Structure 1
Amino acid sequence: MFRVLFHILARVEINGKDNIPEKAPYLVAINHISLFEPPLVLAFWPITLEAIGASDIWERPGQSVLAKMYGGIQVRRGKYDRQVIENALSALRSGRPLVIAPEGGRSHTPGMRRGLPGVSYMIDQADVLVVPVGIVGSTDDFLEKALKFKRPKIAMNIGKPIKVPRIEGRGEERRNLRQQNTDLIMAHIAALVPPGYRGVYADHPLLKELV
């Protein structure tokens, strides 16, 4: 359903499909500007992905219909929920790939916000590869343009899988390493989008090697 709607409303471009690992599990990490990135990834990924989404999506008129049709792991914004993490880890450990937005919410503008360290915890616990995905064209005015039959372009750029370093140490050192790993993932996503989309990662030193 999502795929048909995207093809009707927009010009969809998918780049880097060859970078998708042949074997699951793995974690798909995306930038998050608006409501449109998760449905795009879920619609055009070649296999079914497990998704993590804010619980209020299941409560909003319109959005709730689509959310309930697809399902997913619900998380309450700004609240730590151990069960959510366990559900995500259970999905990965059972062989199901998972899609997540490390920023933890929509930026509403193309500039990326700093990713949260929770994603690194899940990756370290499940010991999986990360597939970075940069999405371009999914700004908040995407639907307005689409409904005016302008068929805006939206692109999903899939990067090569990365293996982040295992996390050692304790306490503050461990927390810092989790953030470093998240920043590493976000830098790989930033390399897949134009400079105006990179936000806080625009000057990340790794970009010189990746772009």
Structure 2
Amino acid sequence: MLYKFAKFVVYMVFKFLFRIKIIGKTNVPKEGPVIVCSNHISNFDPPVVGITCPRDINFMAKEELFEKKGIGFLLKHLNAFPVKRGMRDRNALRNGLGLLEDGGTLGLFPEGTRSKDGNIKKGLAGAGFFAMRSNATVIPCAIIGPYEKFKPLKVIYGEPVEFESLKAEKPSAQEVTDEIMENIQSLIDEYKK
């Protein structure tokens, strides 16, 4: 209930402030497990992906945020779950895989942290891990800023990442993440104009 209300309120505010233009929303499947992988340029990225994705989306958030009273309460009620950064967090991996097994939508920022210069960075292996360990459809997402008042912000959902030929080569999780990042970069290159 809080999720739907917050999504509506934030959408109205952000749509007004940032003139959000959504492209490719129909590429996100209506059913079944989905992983949305986006570039990361601002603290506003999670709510922007959350309000523009046609499905309810679950994000991992750094564990420290859950320790703060107000924000911790909000995160728990806005479909977020904690992850320990800088180490392999088995609980977070289990939570993410369980969510996908139940047909949910997992939102990831494979870079792990915001890009200070806006250029896409190397993604971490976690996105590839989830892609290879689940039957989820992986949707690349590109956020093209800047986040400036009354300036257009584009959110592009690309076509599902094709892994069939890659799977035959038995790739590492990092190689799968690299493929996802290439798809995100392609969206940025295509729509940055």
Q: Is the 8 A contact 1:124 1:167 kept in 2?
A: no
3-state SS of paired residue (1:105): coil
Letter in 2 for 1:166: K
3-state SS of paired residue (1:193): helix
Equivalent position of 2:130 in the other structure: 122
Equivalent position of 1:193 in the other structure: 188
Q: CA deviation at 1:193?
A: 0.9
CA distance in 2, matches of 1:61, 1:136: 32
Equivalent position of 1:106 in the other structure: 114
1:44 aligned onto 2:52: yes
3-state SS of paired residue (1:111): coil
Equivalent position of 2:6 in the other structure: none
- After TM superposition, the structure 1 stretch with the greater mean CA deviation from structure 2, 22-31 or 64-73, is 64-73
Equivalent position of 2:4 in the other structure: none
| Paired residues for 1:11-90 under 5 Å | 11-59=19-67, 64=72, 66-90=74-98
Out of 145, 151, 174, the residue aligned to residue 179 of structure 1 is 174
Cα deviations across residues 98-134 of structure 1 (Å, max 9, x unaligned)? 1101111111221111001121111111122210000
Distance 1:59 1:128, change over 3 A: same
Larger-Rg structure: 1
Equivalent position of 1:166 in the other structure: 167
Cα deviations across residues 42-62 of structure 1 (Å, max 9, x unaligned)? 012112111112223335688
Equivalent position of 1:157 in the other structure: 156
Q: What TM-score does the superposition give when structure 2 sets the normalisation length?
A: 0.83
3-state SS of paired residue (1:103): coil
- After TM superposition, the structure 1 stretch with the greater mean CA deviation from structure 2, 104-113 or 90-99, is 104-113
Letter in 2 for 1:19: N
Q: Is the 8 A contact 2:57 2:79 kept in 1?
A: no
CA distance in 2, matches of 1:62, 1:87: 23
Count of matched residue pairs? 181
